[in-house]
Structure 1
């Protein structure tokens, strides 16, 4: 198995609406990643196209914009974790020696969502995601005394982080306060509209290759190494409920992270920044604990101490997360890699985490799969 590095990253701004076609957005993101890597498309041996809401062969059609090279191409689909899953396949293609260079590219317009495949005979076909997460939040409030103000503080942090990200969908021109978040329209008690992920469109791409190649292509730039790339689905537990894949068992994040930490030879204390699946702030709060950033039940304390804000002990969702940066679907997980790669290179501008060396990216797909990547800065 070869050591794998991120050779290049690219993305388009995530937006609610644009005149630029999705095909053009995908091309721009892929072209930016190739340029950042310093390689031409003919050198790419494998491409994994992640998207949810377009017809099956859309990825192959879009890929023709880069050239007809006979490249191996696959469509990857895994709900919100689609982009992350596409990257996992690209990493494995390089690590296993199947391709010298591989590309993961995601694109989508979440406003074209046409259902998640659930019938009205199941709970998932009737209850919207916001309601599932609201129930999760209500349980948390009863168990640990979490307040809506804590959830609002997380959302406000992410809105304000997004203001510093030129690719973010939501870029407020004045500071967002927890009070403003709480005052926004209630959608599922205790979750308000400003606590919900931004729904829009966009594209993102990541090029991976060997660590040796990364050093050859960019000798003056620190290589960003893929220290861990792993995915897990649900494991059976006593009293397991076979409903609710929108959120799934929160323990799935813990077990996937444990595999990733073991794979990387690192632990939570080694992390300098984290990106999580934060479709609603209750997720981010719970994932603080499941990823080992703090003991169980102490996530609220991290928020109160601003430990997860820029300048805090362990910044989370530095680019605004799903709430601020936006959540088009297919490219979301790859946008996390874009952000973390820039952070580890020291190229994140005004949201830069000082001397960032290790970053973790976490996405959950449909509540039934979890993908965790750990990136680290090489020498």
Structure 2
């Protein structure tokens, strides 16, 4: 297996509504990634397109805007982890020698969501995401005494990180406080509307190649290596609940993280920043522990210490996460790669983490699936 490097990243802004067509947004994201890579589309040998809410042939139709080159192309779909899954396939194409240059591109308009294709007669079709994660939050309150204020502080952090990201859907003009978060409309106790992911539309793209080619195309720029690309579904355990609405058991993230750390030859102590599936702040809080950043039950302490804020020991959701940056669906996991790549290059502007070397990107998807990538800067 060959080493793999990120050579180009691109996004269109994530927005609630836009006058641009989704087709145009996708073209702009792909074009931005090509420009960032210093490549022309005919040099791309494989493309993996991630989307959820558009008709089956949409990906190929959108891809034609970039060129008619006979390129290998596949459609990837895995709920919220769709973009991350497309990235994993592009990485594997290069690592396995099937392509020297591969693109992952995702797009979606979550305003078009019409259910997740699940029967209303099943638990998965009845329990909506807000209710599901409210159950996580209630259990957490019982187990560890987590307060609504802790959840609100995570959400406020992500709103304020989004304000620093020109591609974010939510860009408040003044700092958001945890009191504002708590005072917003209740959705599913204890989760409020301002604790919920921003849904809208957008597109993102990532281009990967070998480190040798990445250095050839950009000899003066830090090379960002993909040290791990791992995916898991849930694993049978004693007393396993088979009806796993939304994202399934928490253990799936812990197991995938261990796989990724082993592949990368790194551990949680090596991470300088992390992006996670924070559709609601209870997720980010739980993932502090499942990713091994701190022992079980001590995530609340990280929040109160400010450890996961910009300038803290281990910043999370530096671009605003799903709460601040937004969550259109298909492109979300690729937006995480966009952010982490810019951070590792030192190109993240006002939200730049001080001299980061390693970043982790985590997405879960309904069904259930978890995808984790670990990126490392190689000067």
- The reply to whether TM is greater than 0.5 is yes
> Corresponding residue for 1:280?
280
Q: How does 1:260-279 map to 2 (within 5 A)?
A: 260-279=260-279
Give me the whole-angstrom Cα distance separating, in 2, the residues matched to 1:117 and 1:61.
Answer: 23
Question: Which has the larger displacement, 163-172 or 113-122?
Answer: 113-122
Q: How does 1:287-306 map to 2 (within 5 A)?
A: 287-306=287-306
Contact 2:90 2:208 in 1 (8 A): yes
Contact 1:132 1:244 in 2 (8 A): no
Question: Which has the larger displacement, 92-101 or 120-129?
Answer: 120-129
1:332-373 CA-to-partner distances (Å, cap 9, x unmatched) read 000000000000000000100000110000000115100000
Contact 2:4 2:211 in 1 (8 A): yes
CA drift at 1:120: 1.0
Give me the whole-angstrom Cα distance separating, in 2, the residues matched to 1:311 and 1:243.
Answer: 40
| 1:119 partnered with 2:119 | yes
Aligned length: 379
> Corresponding residue for 1:91?
91
> Corresponding residue for 1:235?
235
> Corresponding residue for 1:105?
105
Give me the whole-angstrom Cα distance separating, in 1, the residues matched to 2:177 and 2:344.
Answer: 29
> Corresponding residue for 2:361?
361
> Corresponding residue for 2:34?
34
Q: How does 1:202-213 map to 2 (within 5 A)?
A: 202-213=202-213
Contact 1:168 1:319 in 2 (8 A): yes
Contact 2:247 2:369 in 1 (8 A): no
> Corresponding residue for 1:12?
12
Q: Secondary structure at the match of 1:9?
A: strand
Q: Secondary structure at the match of 1:66?
A: coil
Q: Secondary structure at the match of 1:377?
A: strand
Contact 1:278 1:322 in 2 (8 A): yes
Q: How does 1:1-379 map to 2 (within 5 A)?
A: 1-366=1-366, 368-379=368-379
Q: Secondary structure at the match of 1:132?
A: helix
Question: Which has the larger displacement, 273-282 or 358-367?
Answer: 358-367
CA drift at 1:127: 1.8
CA drift at 1:245: 3.0
Contact 1:132 1:247 in 2 (8 A): no
1:33-79 CA-to-partner distances (Å, cap 9, x unmatched) read 00000010001000000000001110000000011100000000000
Q: Secondary structure at the match of 2:175?
A: coil
TM-score by structure 2 length?
0.99
Contact 1:231 1:256 in 2 (8 A): yes
Contact 1:249 1:367 in 2 (8 A): no
Contact 2:309 2:316 in 1 (8 A): yes
1:148-175 CA-to-partner distances (Å, cap 9, x unmatched) read 0000000000000000000000000010
Give me the whole-angstrom Cα distance separating, in 1, the residues matched to 2:264 and 2:82.
Answer: 22
Give me the whole-angstrom Cα distance separating, in 1, the residues matched to 2:269 and 2:135.
Answer: 31
CA drift at 1:213: 0.4
Q: Structure 1: 5+ residue runs without aligned partners?
A: none
Q: Secondary structure at the match of 1:160?
A: helix
TM-score by structure 1 length?
0.99
Contact 2:362 2:372 in 1 (8 A): yes
Q: Secondary structure at the match of 2:207?
A: strand
Q: Where has structure 1 moved over 2 Å in runs of 4 or more? A: none
Q: Structure 2: 5+ residue runs without aligned partners?
A: none
Q: Secondary structure at the match of 2:278?
A: coil
Question: Which has the larger displacement, 116-125 or 295-304?
Answer: 116-125
